[in-house]
Amino acid sequence: MKNPTLSVSLRAVSAAVLLAAGALLAPNLAFAQATKVNVCHVTGNGGLKLLNIGNKALAAHLAHGDATPGSIIDGYLVGDDCSLTPVQVVNSVRLNFSSTGWAGWSCPSGTTVISCDVGGASVASKTLWVPGASVLNGAVNYPNTPMGYTYTPPETGCIVQNDGTPKTIVIQLMCAVQ
Protein backbone atom coordinates (compact mmCIF):
# COMPACT_ATOMS: atom_id res chain seq x y z
CA MET A 1 0.00 0.00 0.00
CA LYS A 2 1.28 3.47 -0.93
CA ASN A 3 1.89 6.06 1.73
CA PRO A 4 -0.10 9.12 0.50
CA THR A 5 1.79 11.53 2.79
CA LEU A 6 5.17 10.34 1.53
CA SER A 7 4.00 10.49 -2.10
CA VAL A 8 2.69 14.06 -1.72
CA SER A 9 5.90 15.13 0.11
CA LEU A 10 8.15 13.68 -2.60
CA ARG A 11 6.12 15.47 -5.28
CA ALA A 12 6.41 18.73 -3.38
CA VAL A 13 10.17 18.31 -2.93
CA SER A 14 10.60 17.41 -6.62
CA ALA A 15 8.60 20.45 -7.68
CA ALA A 16 10.64 22.70 -5.38
CA VAL A 17 13.92 21.31 -6.78
CA LEU A 18 12.73 21.83 -10.37
CA LEU A 19 11.60 25.38 -9.61
CA ALA A 20 14.93 26.20 -7.95
CA ALA A 21 16.90 24.70 -10.86
CA GLY A 22 14.80 26.67 -13.33
CA ALA A 23 15.37 29.88 -11.39
CA LEU A 24 19.12 29.28 -11.47
CA LEU A 25 19.30 28.25 -15.12
CA ALA A 26 16.83 30.72 -16.64
CA PRO A 27 19.05 33.81 -16.33
CA ASN A 28 21.99 31.89 -17.84
CA LEU A 29 19.87 30.57 -20.71
CA ALA A 30 18.47 34.03 -21.35
CA PHE A 31 22.02 35.46 -21.34
CA ALA A 32 23.29 32.77 -23.73
CA GLN A 33 20.40 33.38 -26.12
CA ALA A 34 20.74 37.17 -25.88
CA THR A 35 24.53 37.23 -26.40
CA LYS A 36 25.46 39.10 -29.54
CA VAL A 37 28.61 39.23 -31.60
CA ASN A 38 30.01 41.64 -34.15
CA VAL A 39 30.25 40.51 -37.75
CA CYS A 40 31.43 42.33 -40.85
CA HIS A 41 28.67 41.75 -43.38
CA VAL A 42 29.55 41.79 -47.08
CA THR A 43 27.28 44.31 -48.80
CA GLY A 44 26.01 44.26 -52.39
CA ASN A 45 28.89 46.47 -53.57
CA GLY A 46 31.52 44.25 -51.90
CA GLY A 47 32.11 46.55 -48.94
CA LEU A 48 31.82 45.51 -45.31
CA LYS A 49 29.26 46.78 -42.83
CA LEU A 50 29.49 46.19 -39.07
CA LEU A 51 26.47 44.33 -37.68
CA ASN A 52 25.78 43.18 -34.12
CA ILE A 53 23.96 39.86 -34.43
CA GLY A 54 22.79 37.04 -32.17
CA ASN A 55 25.15 34.08 -31.69
CA LYS A 56 22.70 31.78 -33.44
CA ALA A 57 22.99 33.79 -36.67
CA LEU A 58 26.81 33.80 -36.78
CA ALA A 59 27.28 30.45 -38.56
CA ALA A 60 24.92 31.49 -41.38
CA HIS A 61 26.72 34.82 -41.82
CA LEU A 62 30.14 33.16 -41.95
CA ALA A 63 28.84 30.54 -44.40
CA HIS A 64 27.96 33.19 -46.98
CA GLY A 65 31.26 35.08 -46.75
CA ASP A 66 30.90 37.49 -43.83
CA ALA A 67 33.84 37.77 -41.41
CA THR A 68 34.45 38.51 -37.76
CA PRO A 69 36.72 41.38 -36.70
CA GLY A 70 40.27 40.11 -36.25
CA SER A 71 40.01 37.49 -38.98
CA ILE A 72 41.97 37.49 -42.22
CA ILE A 73 40.17 37.34 -45.56
CA ASP A 74 41.72 37.53 -49.00
CA GLY A 75 45.01 38.90 -47.64
CA TYR A 76 43.43 41.55 -45.40
CA LEU A 77 43.08 41.80 -41.62
CA VAL A 78 39.48 42.73 -40.72
CA GLY A 79 39.50 45.54 -38.12
CA ASP A 80 37.04 46.04 -35.26
CA ASP A 81 35.27 48.63 -37.43
CA CYS A 82 35.39 46.34 -40.52
CA SER A 83 38.25 48.31 -42.06
CA LEU A 84 40.71 46.22 -44.07
CA THR A 85 44.49 46.25 -43.52
CA PRO A 86 46.72 44.42 -46.02
CA VAL A 87 48.69 41.52 -44.53
CA GLN A 88 51.73 39.71 -45.80
CA VAL A 89 52.62 36.07 -45.07
CA VAL A 90 56.33 35.65 -44.33
CA ASN A 91 58.05 32.27 -43.98
CA SER A 92 61.46 31.88 -42.39
CA VAL A 93 64.13 29.69 -43.87
CA ARG A 94 64.32 26.22 -42.33
CA LEU A 95 65.68 26.82 -38.83
CA ASN A 96 67.64 24.07 -37.04
CA PHE A 97 67.82 24.52 -33.32
CA SER A 98 68.99 22.52 -30.33
CA SER A 99 66.76 20.83 -27.79
CA THR A 100 66.31 23.94 -25.63
CA GLY A 101 67.45 26.52 -28.17
CA TRP A 102 65.71 29.60 -29.46
CA ALA A 103 64.87 30.71 -32.98
CA GLY A 104 63.25 33.82 -34.36
CA TRP A 105 62.15 35.62 -37.51
CA SER A 106 61.11 39.19 -38.30
CA CYS A 107 58.45 40.89 -40.39
CA PRO A 108 59.64 43.07 -43.28
CA SER A 109 60.19 46.77 -42.71
CA GLY A 110 56.93 48.74 -42.71
CA THR A 111 54.88 45.84 -41.30
CA THR A 112 53.97 44.61 -37.81
CA VAL A 113 53.60 41.00 -36.68
CA ILE A 114 50.02 39.98 -35.88
CA SER A 115 50.39 36.18 -35.63
CA CYS A 116 53.01 33.46 -35.61
CA ASP A 117 52.77 29.76 -36.49
CA VAL A 118 55.28 26.91 -36.48
CA GLY A 119 53.32 24.46 -38.63
CA GLY A 120 52.21 22.22 -35.81
CA ALA A 121 55.71 21.65 -34.45
CA SER A 122 55.88 21.05 -30.72
CA VAL A 123 57.61 23.99 -29.02
CA ALA A 124 57.94 25.16 -25.41
CA SER A 125 57.02 28.78 -26.15
CA LYS A 126 56.12 31.05 -29.04
CA THR A 127 56.07 34.81 -28.42
CA LEU A 128 55.18 37.73 -30.67
CA TRP A 129 58.28 39.92 -30.26
CA VAL A 130 56.90 43.43 -30.06
CA PRO A 131 57.48 46.40 -27.72
CA GLY A 132 56.46 45.34 -24.20
CA ALA A 133 57.05 41.60 -24.76
CA SER A 134 59.24 39.56 -22.42
CA VAL A 135 60.24 35.94 -21.86
CA LEU A 136 61.97 33.88 -19.18
CA ASN A 137 59.90 35.44 -16.39
CA GLY A 138 60.85 38.96 -17.45
CA ALA A 139 64.59 38.25 -17.65
CA VAL A 140 64.67 39.08 -21.37
CA ASN A 141 62.66 41.98 -22.76
CA TYR A 142 62.05 43.41 -26.24
CA PRO A 143 64.16 44.46 -28.20
CA ASN A 144 66.77 41.95 -26.87
CA THR A 145 66.25 38.24 -27.48
CA PRO A 146 67.45 35.10 -25.64
CA MET A 147 69.48 34.11 -28.72
CA GLY A 148 71.60 37.27 -28.63
CA TYR A 149 69.91 39.15 -31.46
CA THR A 150 68.62 42.65 -30.74
CA TYR A 151 65.61 43.87 -32.71
CA THR A 152 65.90 47.39 -34.11
CA PRO A 153 62.63 49.18 -33.23
CA PRO A 154 60.11 49.29 -34.85
CA GLU A 155 61.13 45.78 -36.04
CA THR A 156 58.74 43.03 -34.85
CA GLY A 157 58.57 39.27 -35.28
CA CYS A 158 58.29 36.01 -33.37
CA ILE A 159 60.68 34.10 -31.15
CA VAL A 160 60.31 30.40 -30.37
CA GLN A 161 61.87 28.18 -27.70
CA ASN A 162 62.27 24.49 -28.43
CA ASP A 163 60.64 21.88 -26.17
CA GLY A 164 63.54 19.50 -25.56
CA THR A 165 63.91 17.71 -28.89
CA PRO A 166 66.27 19.05 -31.56
CA LYS A 167 64.30 19.85 -34.71
CA THR A 168 63.99 21.92 -37.83
CA ILE A 169 61.09 24.35 -38.08
CA VAL A 170 59.77 27.08 -40.33
CA ILE A 171 58.27 30.10 -38.60
CA GLN A 172 55.33 31.59 -40.49
CA LEU A 173 54.40 35.19 -39.68
CA MET A 174 51.35 37.25 -40.60
CA CYS A 175 52.54 40.82 -40.90
CA ALA A 176 50.14 43.77 -41.20
CA VAL A 177 51.12 46.74 -43.33
CA GLN A 178 51.46 49.79 -41.09
Note the pLDDT tens digit of each residue in 122-146: 999 999 999 999 999 999 999 999 9
Output the pLDDT for position 34.
Answer: 56
Residue range of the domain that includes 60: 36-82
Whether 75 and 94 share a structural domain: no
CB atoms within 10 A of CB 87: 22
Show which of 82, 113, 138 is a domain's final residue. Answer: 82
Confidence of residue 33 (pLDDT cuts 50, 70, 90): low
State whether 97 and 75 are in the same domain. Answer: no
**151 in a domain, yes or no?**
yes
Q: Kindly tell me if the per-residue pLDDT of 23 is higher than 80.
A: no
Dist. CA 68–CA 66, nearest whole Å: 7
Higher-pLDDT residue of 86 and 18 is 86
Q: With pLDDT > 70 as the criterion, what percentage of the chain qualifies?
A: 81
Asked if residue 75 has pLDDT above 50, the reply is yes
Is 126 found in the same domain as 58? no
pTM, to two decimals: 0.67
Instruction: Please check whether residues 43 and 101 belong to one and the same domain.
Output: no
Are 172 and 95 within one domain?
Answer: yes
**Same domain (yes/no): 52, 106:** no
Question: Does 162 share its domain with 125?
Answer: yes
Number of domains present in the structure of the chain: 2
What angle, 0 to 180 degrees and rounded to 10, lies between the N-to-C axes of helices 4-34 and 55-63?
Answer: 50
